[in-house]
Structure 1
Amino acid sequence: MNGRRMKPTMMSRVCLSLIYCAVLLTVCSIPFPAYSEEMQTPSAAGSNSIISRIIIEIRDLPRDDERLKAMAGNLVFLKEGEPFSEDRLRDSIDALTLANEFREIHVDSKEEADGISLFFQLTPLRRIKDITITGQAPLFEREILNAITIYSGDAFVREDLPKQAELITALYQREGFIRPNVTIPALKDENDGNFIINITIEKGAYYSFDDIVIRGNRSFSDTRLKFKMKSWRATLRPGSSGRFIEEDLRKDIEGLTSFYRSRGYADVTIDHDMKKNAETGSVSVAMTITEGPRYDITFTGNKEFWNMTLQKDLVLFESGNRNDLGLKRSIRNIRERYRKAGYLETRVSPVEDRKQEDEQTVRSIALVIDEGPQTIVGSITIEGNRTLDEEKIKGQMLTRLPGFMEKGAYVPEKLEEGMFAIKSLYTREGYNAAVIGETVRWSDDKRHVDITLTITEGLQTVISSAHIEGVDAVTREEAYDAIKLREGEPFRRYMIRSDENALAQLISEKGYPHVTVRSHTTVSKDTSQADIMYQVAEGPKVAMGEVYFSGNFRTKEKVLRNELELNKGEPFSLTKMLEQQRNIRNMNIFNSVRFKTIGLKENSDTAHLIVEVEEKKPYFFELGGGYESDRGLFAQTTVGDHNLFGTNKYGWIGGKISEIGYRGDMGLVEQRFLKTRTTLSLNLFAERLEEFNQEFGTKSYGASVGFTRKMSPSLTAGLSFSLEQREQYSLGSATGDEFQSRSILVTTPSLNYDTRDSFIRPTKGIFSYCSVDVSTGLRNSLDNFLKYRVDVRYYVTPFNRLTLAWLGRAGYISTYGSDGTVPKDQLFYLGGTSDVRGFDENLLRYDAAGDPVGGRAALSGSFEARIDLGGNFELAPFIDTGSVRRTFDGGGSDSFRSSVGIGLRYITPIGPIGLLYGHKLDRRDGESAGRFHFSIGYTF
């Protein structure tokens, strides 16, 4: 340091020792990042010294030096002109460390005539700007990133790179590769001093199944067992996709154990011996199966429950039966089931018979059930209740009299729960000393009980006064509105804590996060009155300080600041703080977001926020293809950027081609239009379409702009505008005004309600959509109409492997300002994969020539039962119906046409692939009996 260092006095030596110990404890207790941090403390500082100067120096000046210097100044809680404090120095070092911006923090001091000068020398850390990976196949990039401990935006520490190579190597070894080689060079970006990590993976050879020997399997063949093993089925795949993965073998053994148990072999054990040859890459596995006896369990004496119901209680076929523990648990489960049905004396006795069948031991166990009498509640009498009426009290009870959908079984545990609920009811009314007693009178045959509940209410405790002291941050009226225990209300002791919390939250939101509320209650001797005093200690007022972002190499800082709910200088609000954290986390451009608040723990008058983000890869490329019944062979591709120019805008260009035409799109989505919660979507498109069985085609191009806003987590409102140049052309010899080029302006308000648990594979919830197209022809009146659409779907899963799905759709066109004619390409058509299966595309209604007929009204409905078969397969019987009405040429019929059918789907991570067959219920002359449909994704 420059300047003469004064000789420390005895007092300063003591203070120096205290500072050193304090900082040492700080260093030991702080969870440091994975880089070394040099911390030196002032060489001399008297505890009563005044701080004359604070100098902050940033070493190795980066481009954002002023930002770092301002950050450091805000995070140093010592102030010039104030007495030096060891605690504040420790807090400052803690804050600078927590900020995760400096790899070295050096603090020194110098005693001068006017006080003590503090010198902070800070060396910024460098960050990982990007992580690129080559050679990762067959694994995905995300699997690699999940395996390592560094991430984009993290502090760069060169010493950590060998550890990352070890982690990736271990991952590939677990995935079956023998000697993978991983290199991780780091390249410095000279523009900003940060680093780009390049991970290169040379996978090398992999293990393959050479042989698997299964011994001891008498009941099931080798082939059947092997086909149940993922590790063995992999050998049927080519290349590295067929490699041997040890974890798969472990899961296969668990799966085979479960399979054996489900077939009655509850005592089965499977041992294996695995030998790997790293030189040849071969793996040999010898499995020894000890099947044990086959259990044949039957039930006798059961009248209340079916055998199928009692089978659910047999846990030995799921968890095994070592030392007969599974059988004993199963018997307990059966007895408990009977007890809940009112059979309080049920006995279950196992009667065993061992025998040999085809050289196999069969352990036949008959569970002999002596159900005993079922006890039914004959009457429920309430006595002693003066304040609460009998019906309200009985409403708290789980014990019921026999009636509609109620057997009236007597279960002592339910009676106890009901008495506790009645006690709670009285407590809510201020009767804190109420006593609930019960008398149960049994009939001689123990088949009926009469229950009498005797209630001793005691005195009601009423709040005679409620006072709040120590509040300045809010008005008296606001404070009293926050509490529920007010003068004249019943005294509920359990609500005191909630009132304390409500009052504290109210005051905390005004900028007092350190507020504490303590209550004191005085109850009169006769317990009829209670006085409550809430004592408030507001603590220091805290304002919102600076917000610092790191890791946002691409995302502009102003975009992140748009998500903030708190501005600098505003009273600190925990609710708004959490809200802005949710806002940033909900941005779809980050893999992870971490928040750190600095200043609250240190009791500072300002709280600063540190936000560390890990950006997603912004660019994407998608390519797909396949076959679907409604469009034939198809291919599609999309390229885009999820974070266009770092502005959180989503831009893309895409195209698709199929047997029915092609389409090109270019779009842009703005998540925060004009800094609001409204989403703006822009789209340019061009399309040529000739749908199956139609006698016309369409060419169109245009632009659309749409606005959507979430009104609630489930409800979304939308408004869109589209301008389209459209041309309908005949595929035959037809002519008319509708085949001329048309310019159309469409305004579409819409509402979307969605409570589904999954977009890809819903099992419960509701989806509904309604919209109105206000269409206006700019050159003619053919497109002057209102088109109404309603789509409602409902999903429920009554059983574990069964999902029921309903669909209802309706559409209606109402013309205005024209002769009532609507072009064919604007009408509704039904039939095909997307609505009424079993019919050809668009041919639910057709004319005498066999051409499709469209209408201004359409109704359709579908029902599916989706049955999970296991192994990612799903069986789906269905019934569809629909009707096309208000046609122009009168061909066909207005009546509903229906079909039934069944489908088989294979569930992939991105949705199902299905083959379905629909059979016409009202087949007409000349029609086929039905039709196959191949689809990707659910119909609804």
Structure 2
Amino acid sequence: MGKIEFTGNKAISASQLKKNLNLKSKNLIQKIAFWTKSQDFNEFYLEDNVQQIISLYQRAGFLKVDVKAYKDINRKKEKINLLYEIKENEPVLINDIKLKIDAKDQERIDSVKQLLETGRTDWILQENSIFRDLNILALNKYFHELLLNNGYPSPEIKQEILLTEAENKADVIYNISAGTFCSFGAVNIIGNERTPSHVISRQISFNGEQFSQTQLQETQRRIQQLGIFQFVTMKSMLDEIENNTIPIEIMVKELPEWSVKFGIGYGLEDRLRTSLDLLKLNFLGGARRANLYLKHSFLEPYNVSLKITQPAFLGPYGSLAFKPYLKKEHESAYDLETFGTSLTFQNIINPRLNGFISYRFERSFIDLSDETETDILNEFYNKSALSQGLSFNNSSPVFYPETGFSASYVVTLSGLKLNSKYHYLQGLVDLRKYQRILAELVLAGKIKIGSMKPIWGDTITPLEERYYAGGSLSLRGWGRNDVSPKNENNKSIGGNSYLELSLEARQKIFKILYLVLFLDAGNVWMDFDRHNLNDLKYSPGIGLRLRTPIGPIRLDAAQPVWDSKKSIQLHLSIGQAF
């Protein structure tokens, strides 16, 4: 196969037509990969392609389309170029849209008609618009959902097309059987062996009003949000409708009361790591959850926490978590031992947007390495801080985003009484964008910017809360935390302003294997308001991603530019860099 071209196609683009063909030419990426073989020409596929194009046009309203295929054989290159000549002719137009409603009496017929024709000017199908199959089906779906959400649990809708070929017009008739108008009736909950029924009932979003499928779905989401059920199903008991009320059955399948997750892995930064996560559901009754988490790695010699979560707090999508913890962090400049507790309220505003507010109190001891010279002393000290954040994410799919974006911010105020040693205001913004460019090529971009300012008379910020860059999730041309202001002994001591930019091109090259080209840029400065675009460090690189059900296994290699002292950095880990 050589080139594939089209003439006469005005209503449908060439790229859209090519997607529906069995015979395909090489795309840009396949041409760059010159070693890949072109598809062999097949006469049967050619005839099938002509029919595919005709079918596509007819579904778009061009019932009298004419398509011819011409072959141009280049025997020297052993290629066949195809030219599809398309004569679209005039499309079929919608003449009229009629609703035929079947209900028990004229009053109900008038009520249903008024409901469906409200907003008629906004229908996707309009008189004198081009006849398109998808639009006809979309309006059918719109009517169906409108009835389901306004008291009719079992509507039936079928469309009928009357074509007048002489005028090239069509009437669309929707035959609508609305069914019985109902209100919500009694609710029966089954399958809950440990969870009290009243815990589930509090999540129900309806109470005797007219039937609505949307309210059923909302209730299902609320109950699932409790985090203690494997699945939740909502069933409208259509066979038990009585006095225009419909009973609802809620079936739940509880997750195991106890569960244990054990993890072991290796990374070039944290080396050997192990973790244990013990979960207890229905903790102290109700829907509470308790998580005991243990972790060990080179960077975290120990991390122990107990998190107790109360779901449905101050609303169906709110939760309150109490978390005492004890941990030790190991960095080249210091070791930090911390014990403390946090109290966090989180609320899911909608499926893509959630926010939180959190208070934490910690008592820490920092042990500086012999080469770390700063104004900070080896000592115990208190930290009392309040944080607030908001995040939005509509990227998909999970683990391998191809479209959408995410945005988040976190603001922290530290120094709230309780002999808190450090007083500062800190903010961090994280923006990410994903866009599919070609069939198997995705561009991903990230911007992170942060600032941290001492307040209330303080002149320094805590070493462990400052910004650092470099490593497998940051500027990959440098080692972990290597991009940072340095002391006289060339030890990273962190900074108070931070900027990071990344761009990745992710291309599938073989089934579960992806090739990635990337460029990272950024820096960390001591002053809180530095953010100098003329003082950025750059590192281009190349990587491989092996697709797995739990995320990609990632190998990256990056080299700083304009820095002859730095060698290539390798990073091996699980998960996307962003």
Class of the TM-score when normalised by the shorter of the 2 chains: 0.7 to 0.9
Which one of 63, 71, 81 corresponds to residue 347 of structure 1?
Answer: 71
SS in 1 for 2:464: helix
Q: How far is the alpha carbon of 1:789 from its aligned partner?
A: 0.3
Structure 2 unmatched ranges of 5 or more? 7-13, 19-23, 58-65, 98-104, 158-175
Which one of 563, 575, 585 corresponds to residue 203 of structure 2?
Answer: 563
CA deviations over 1:504-563 (Å, ceiling 9, x no partner): 98898776768999xxxxxxxxxxxxxxxxxx9999875533222222112221122122
Distance 2:548 2:127 in 1: 58
Q: Is the 8 A contact 1:806 1:864 kept in 2?
A: yes
Relative to structure 1, is the Cα distance of residues 939 and 657 closer, same or farther in structure 2, using a 3 angstrom cutoff?
Answer: same
What letter corresponds to residue 896 of structure 1 in structure 2? L
CA deviations over 1:612-660 (Å, ceiling 9, x no partner): 3332323221111222233222211111124545633332101111112
Residue in structure 2 matched with residue 807 of structure 1 by the alignment? 446
Relative to structure 1, is the Cα distance of residues 470 and 328 closer, same or farther in structure 2, using a 3 angstrom cutoff?
Answer: same
Residue in structure 2 matched with residue 721 of structure 1 by the alignment? 359
Is 1:470 the counterpart of 2:114? The answer is no
Distance 1:901 1:502 in 2: 49
Residue in structure 1 matched with residue 512 of structure 2 by the alignment? 872
What letter corresponds to residue 745 of structure 1 in structure 2? S
Q: Is the 8 A contact 1:301 1:368 kept in 2?
A: no
CA deviations over 1:159-198 (Å, ceiling 9, x no partner): xxxxxxxxxxxxxxxxxxxxxxxxxxxxxxxxxxxxxxxx
Distance 2:479 2:366 in 1: 22
Q: How far is the alpha carbon of 1:581 from its aligned partner?
A: 3.6
Is 1:328 the counterpart of 2:52? The answer is no
SS in 2 for 1:576: helix
What letter corresponds to residue 812 of structure 1 in structure 2? S
Which one of 429, 453, 461 corresponds to residue 822 of structure 1?
Answer: 461
What letter corresponds to residue 470 of structure 1 in structure 2? E
Q: Is the 8 A contact 2:424 2:454 kept in 1?
A: yes
Distance 1:299 1:320 in 2: 11
Residue in structure 1 matched with residue 399 of structure 2 by the alignment? 760
CA deviations over 1:811-854 (Å, ceiling 9, x no partner): 10122212332122221111222211121221223344221142
Q: Is the 8 A contact 1:853 1:887 kept in 2?
A: no
Which one of 240, 264, 268 corresponds to residue 629 of structure 1?
Answer: 268
Residue in structure 2 matched with residue 64 of structure 1 by the alignment? none
Relative to structure 1, is the Cα distance of residues 349 and 561 closer, same or farther in structure 2, using a 3 angstrom cutoff?
Answer: same
Relative to structure 1, is the Cα distance of residues 820 and 580 closer, same or farther in structure 2, using a 3 angstrom cutoff?
Answer: same
After TM superposition, the structure 1 = structure 2 runs for residues 347-746 of structure 1, keeping only pairs within 5 Å, are: 347-348=71-72, 366-367=78-79, 369=81, 412-413=86-87, 415-416=88-89, 419-420=90-91, 423-424=93-94, 470=107, 482=118, 484=120, 542-567=182-207, 569-584=208-223, 588-598=227-237, 602-644=241-283, 647-660=286-299, 661-691=301-331, 693-694=332-333, 696-732=334-370, 738-746=377-385
Q: Is the 8 A contact 1:597 1:610 kept in 2?
A: yes
Relative to structure 1, is the Cα distance of residues 301 and 800 closer, same or farther in structure 2, using a 3 angstrom cutoff?
Answer: closer
Q: How far is the alpha carbon of 1:667 from its aligned partner?
A: 0.6
After TM superposition, the structure 1 = structure 2 runs for residues 179-198 of structure 1, keeping only pairs within 5 Å, are: none
Q: How far is the alpha carbon of 1:740 from its aligned partner?
A: 3.4
Distance 1:842 1:513 in 2: 59
Relative to structure 1, is the Cα distance of residues 480 and 909 closer, same or farther in structure 2, using a 3 angstrom cutoff?
Answer: closer
Residue in structure 2 matched with residue 25 of structure 1 by the alignment? none
Distance 2:5 2:400 in 1: 43
Q: Is the 8 A contact 1:482 1:499 kept in 2?
A: no
Q: How far is the alpha carbon of 1:787 from its aligned partner?
A: 0.7
User: TM-score, normalization: structure 1?
Assistant: 0.47
Relative to structure 1, is the Cα distance of residues 584 and 348 closer, same or farther in structure 2, using a 3 angstrom cutoff?
Answer: farther
Is 1:841 the counterpart of 2:475? The answer is no
What letter corresponds to residue 915 of structure 1 in structure 2? L
Distance 1:842 1:912 in 2: 23
Relative to structure 1, is the Cα distance of residues 338 and 759 closer, same or farther in structure 2, using a 3 angstrom cutoff?
Answer: closer
Distance 2:306 2:490 in 1: 38
More moved, 670-679 vs 834-843: 670-679
Q: How far is the alpha carbon of 1:857 from its aligned partner?
A: 0.3
Which one of 541, 564, 569 corresponds to residue 901 of structure 1?
Answer: 541
SS in 2 for 1:559: helix
Q: Is the 8 A contact 2:384 2:420 kept in 1?
A: no
Relative to structure 1, is the Cα distance of residues 884 and 480 closer, same or farther in structure 2, using a 3 angstrom cutoff?
Answer: closer
CA deviations over 1:671-690 (Å, ceiling 9, x no partner): 31144321222221111112
Which one of 552, 559, 562 corresponds to residue 919 of structure 1?
Answer: 559
SS in 2 for 1:904: strand
User: TM-score, normalization: structure 2?
Assistant: 0.73
SS in 2 for 1:759: coil
Q: How far is the alpha carbon of 1:718 from its aligned partner?
A: 1.9
SS in 1 for 2:91: helix
Q: Is the 8 A contact 1:782 1:822 kept in 2?
A: no
Distance 2:434 2:141 in 1: 39
Distance 1:308 1:502 in 2: 40
Residue in structure 2 matched with residue 395 of structure 1 by the alignment? none
Q: Is the 8 A contact 1:843 1:853 kept in 2?
A: no
What letter corresponds to residue 820 of structure 1 in structure 2? T
Q: Is the 8 A contact 1:470 1:537 kept in 2?
A: no
Is 1:929 the counterpart of 2:571? The answer is no
Distance 2:412 2:181 in 1: 54
Which one of 863, 868, 880 corresponds to residue 503 of structure 2?
Answer: 863
Q: How far is the alpha carbon of 1:779 from its aligned partner?
A: 5.7
Distance 2:400 2:431 in 1: 16
What letter corresponds to residue 913 of structure 1 in structure 2? I
What letter corresponds to residue 91 of structure 2 in structure 1? F
Distance 1:538 1:327 in 2: 50
Distance 1:743 1:783 in 2: 8
Residue in structure 1 matched with residue 429 of structure 2 by the alignment? 790
Q: Is the 8 A contact 2:226 2:312 kept in 1?
A: no
Q: Is the 8 A contact 1:831 1:842 kept in 2?
A: yes
Q: How far is the alpha carbon of 1:771 from its aligned partner?
A: 1.2
SS in 2 for 1:911: coil
Distance 2:522 2:453 in 1: 20
CA deviations over 1:335-394 (Å, ceiling 9, x no partner): 899999x9967334597xxxxxxxxxxxx99445586xxxxxxxxxxxxxxxxxxxxxxx
After TM superposition, the structure 1 = structure 2 runs for residues 260-275 of structure 1, keeping only pairs within 5 Å, are: none
Q: Is the 8 A contact 1:543 1:571 kept in 2?
A: yes
SS in 1 for 2:340: strand
Relative to structure 1, is the Cα distance of residues 574 and 622 closer, same or farther in structure 2, using a 3 angstrom cutoff?
Answer: closer
SS in 1 for 2:195: coil
Distance 1:809 1:545 in 2: 51
Q: Which has the larger radius of gyration?
A: 1
Q: Is the 8 A contact 2:288 2:310 kept in 1?
A: yes
After TM superposition, the structure 1 = structure 2 runs for residues 270-281 of structure 1, keeping only pairs within 5 Å, are: none
Q: Compare the two structures and name the one with the higher strand fraction.
A: 2
Residue in structure 2 matched with residue 778 of structure 1 by the alignment? 417
Identity over the aligned pairs, expressed in percent?
A: 21
Relative to structure 1, is the Cα distance of residues 596 and 810 closer, same or farther in structure 2, using a 3 angstrom cutoff?
Answer: closer
The number of residues matched between the two structures is 512
Distance 2:526 2:198 in 1: 55
Q: How far is the alpha carbon of 1:872 from its aligned partner?
A: 2.8
Distance 2:549 2:140 in 1: 48
TM-align CA RMSD: 4.9
Residue in structure 2 matched with residue 243 of structure 1 by the alignment? none
Q: How far is the alpha carbon of 1:922 from its aligned partner?
A: 1.8
CA deviations over 1:190-226 (Å, ceiling 9, x no partner): xxxxxxxxxxxxxxxxxxxxxxxxxxxxxxxxxxxxx
Q: Compare the two structures and name the one with the higher helix fraction.
A: 1
Distance 2:3 2:155 in 1: 65
Relative to structure 1, is the Cα distance of residues 894 and 730 closer, same or farther in structure 2, using a 3 angstrom cutoff?
Answer: farther
Q: Is the 8 A contact 1:743 1:778 kept in 2?
A: no
CA deviations over 1:465-501 (Å, ceiling 9, x no partner): xxx9737999x9x979946479xxx989999999999
SS in 1 for 2:42: helix
Q: How far is the alpha carbon of 1:502 from its aligned partner?
A: 8.9
